[in-house]
Amino acid sequence: MSRFQSIEFYQRPTTPYQLLPFRFTQLNERGEYVVTNLAGEHLVLQGDQLRALVRHELPRTSPDYQDLRARHFLYDDSSKSALDLLALKIRSRYRRLAEFTGLHIFVVTLRCEHSCPYCQVSRQTEDTEAFDMSRETADKALEFVFRSPSPAIKIEFQGGESLLNFDLIRYIVERAESINYEGKRNLQFVIATNLAVVTDEMLAFCRDHRVHLSTSLDGPQDLHNRNRPRPGKNSYERALDGIERARRIVGRDSVTALMTTTAGSLDRVREIIDTYVGLGFTGMFLRPLSPYGFAVKTNAIAAYSADRWVKFYRDGLDYILSLNKAGIPFREFYTSVILKKMLTSDDPGFVDLMSPAGIAIKGIVYNYDGAVYASDESRMLAEMGDQTFRLGSLASDSYEDVFLSDALLNPLEESFAGSVPMCDECAFEPYCGAEPVFHHTVQGDFVGRKAESSFCRRSMAVFRHLIELLRSDPDAKRIFLRWANR
């Protein structure tokens, strides 16, 4: 008996096959569809091929048939292990869910010496009593941190300007290291700071305790300084000086930067990217403007629509790809997250693109006053007077009270994309997120009507663009594969 099937076997025009679960969504106006399976693997099919597939009329000799079988959209008598393999990939994809909360944000102060119009939370005050976190509150927050089963714990310090309460940061870092001495989890620290008030002594502490710095950089000097007013009108100069000293004292890779997108950014994406490249950063995050806090009050969010941001993103990504093709390695981080979800069986656990939503179960916020919020956006919403995502208080509630609260479980359950209208049948669902806080803010509902959701519109446009690039540009595909597999 031969070890191989006869050539006739492979040439049979049709063969019985079974469908495996998959979703499809129209990709473009050319009649092409994206299909994704339960593990998030995708293919692009012509409409007539899709219909033939579902009607069991796809010939075995079709190239699409081989791809569909290899990627677990169908199985036949020669692919008996398809179900096991697909189950294994799904298992890999969701494995981090059981790890639970890894990111713990400590809002150590609301005080800030900047007065950025889009900032949701900061206070211009010298009143340390009213807006700084106390050691007692920090100790209670640390108890919550180490109740998490996560093998990797990241403690992030936020503000206001977090360095205005550096004494507390120092206390928390040393206390957390001491608690972790026995458990030996992967413990990391990040300070989110504009670097305007950073001293060499603070930087030396960061070096000694391997504390990472995440700063704000909105682009060229005039744009950055207009976005971020402070006494002296020198936010940009201070940031650059801080970056230079941080690299010198803490280490070359010790500081990363985040931009805030404003209406003034939209026509200047190349200049913004050039600023990052010129300062030696290896990547950046083309972020949309959030709908929270002062951003809403000042109508900044209305200044540009989701479509306008998508153009900004696409122009920026095109430019970043051209830099890479010219030999300058530089990544766009939002794209990298999506590509990892699209091209690997791994899920990087990016809070905005998770379902179940990442609120609290991926990242949680301990506010300066002891309030516990489901996410950074949740505390910004609270500053606008909406306490929907306030999960409890460190002063009066236990870990169980917080994580089993209706304020957390209701939005998690209701917004689960696998059972939300439109998301449940969307081919992009494996790459997307539930975003209950966003939809509650904009539509007053944890789920929201997706046809009217700017988050959905924006995300779908990005997914479609990346899939088109993967198909049409072999160089972009090579670059994307590198980003996805980092």
| Residue numbers at the binding site for other proteins (CB under 8 A) | 18-24, 26, 38, 50-51, 54, 83-84, 86-88, 90-91, 94, 97-98, 421-422, 425, 449, 451-452
- For other proteins, which is the closer residue by CB, 242 or 356? 356
Q: How far is the CB of 352 from other proteins (least distance, A)?
A: 22
Token pair belonging to 105: 């944000």
- For other proteins, which is the closer residue by CB, 29 or 129? 29
- The residues, ordered by sequence, that sit 6+ positions from 321 with a Cβ below 8 Å of its Cβ are 469, 473, 475, 476, 479
Q: How far is the CB of 68 from other proteins (least distance, A)?
A: 13
Strand partners, 187: 153
* Distance between CA atoms of residues 237 and 221, nearest Å: 8
Q: How far is the CB of 17 from other proteins (least distance, A)?
A: 11
- For other proteins, which is the closer residue by CB, 246 or 467? 467
- For other proteins, which is the closer residue by CB, 73 or 366? 73
Amino acid at 227: N
* Distance between CA atoms of residues 83 and 106, nearest Å: 44
Q: How far is the CB of 3 from other proteins (least distance, A)?
A: 29
CB 373 within 8 A of CB 367: yes
- For other proteins, which is the closer residue by CB, 235 or 454? 454
Q: How far is the CB of 429 from other proteins (least distance, A)?
A: 13
**How many Cβ atoms from other residues are within 10 Å of residue 88's Cβ?**
13
- For other proteins, which is the closer residue by CB, 207 or 458? 458
CB 120 within 8 A of CB 294: yes
Q: How far is the CB of 224 from other proteins (least distance, A)?
A: 36
Helix or strand (DSSP H, E) at 154: strand 152-158
- For other proteins, which is the closer residue by CB, 97 or 404? 97
| Mutual angle of helices 474-484 and 454-472, in 10-degree steps | 120
* Distance between CA atoms of residues 240 and 220, nearest Å: 11
Token pair belonging to 67: 């791809």
Helix or strand (DSSP H, E) at 192: strand 186-193
Q: How far is the CB of 453 from other proteins (least distance, A)?
A: 9
Q: How far is the CB of 55 from other proteins (least distance, A)?
A: 8
- For other proteins, which is the closer residue by CB, 52 or 279? 52
CB 281 within 8 A of CB 244: no
Query: Cα 233–212–193 angle (5° rounding)?
Result: 25
Strands (E), 38-144: 42-46, 74-75, 103-107
Q: How far is the CB of 39 from other proteins (least distance, A)?
A: 9
* Helix, strand and coil percent figures for the chain, each rounded to 5: 50, 15, 35
- For other proteins, which is the closer residue by CB, 272 or 357? 357
- The residues, ordered by sequence, that sit 6+ positions from 385 with a Cβ below 8 Å of its Cβ are none
CB 356 within 8 A of CB 340: no
Q: How far is the CB of 449 from other proteins (least distance, A)?
A: 5
Q: How far is the CB of 466 from other proteins (least distance, A)?
A: 22
Q: How far is the CB of 90 from other proteins (least distance, A)?
A: 4
- For other proteins, which is the closer residue by CB, 9 or 94? 94
Q: Phi then psi for 278, rounded to 5 degrees?
A: -60, -30
**How many Cβ atoms from other residues are within 10 Å of residue 396's Cβ?**
8
- For other proteins, which is the closer residue by CB, 23 or 114? 23
Q: What is the largest CA-CA distance in the chain?
A: 87
Give the 3-state secondary structure of residue 396.
coil
Sheet holding 363-366, edge to edge: 255-258, 211-216, 186-193, 152-158, 103-107, 363-366, 371-373, 390-393
Q: What DSSP letter does each residue of 350-363 carry, written as one string?
A: -GGG-SS--BTTTE
- For other proteins, which is the closer residue by CB, 84 or 182? 84
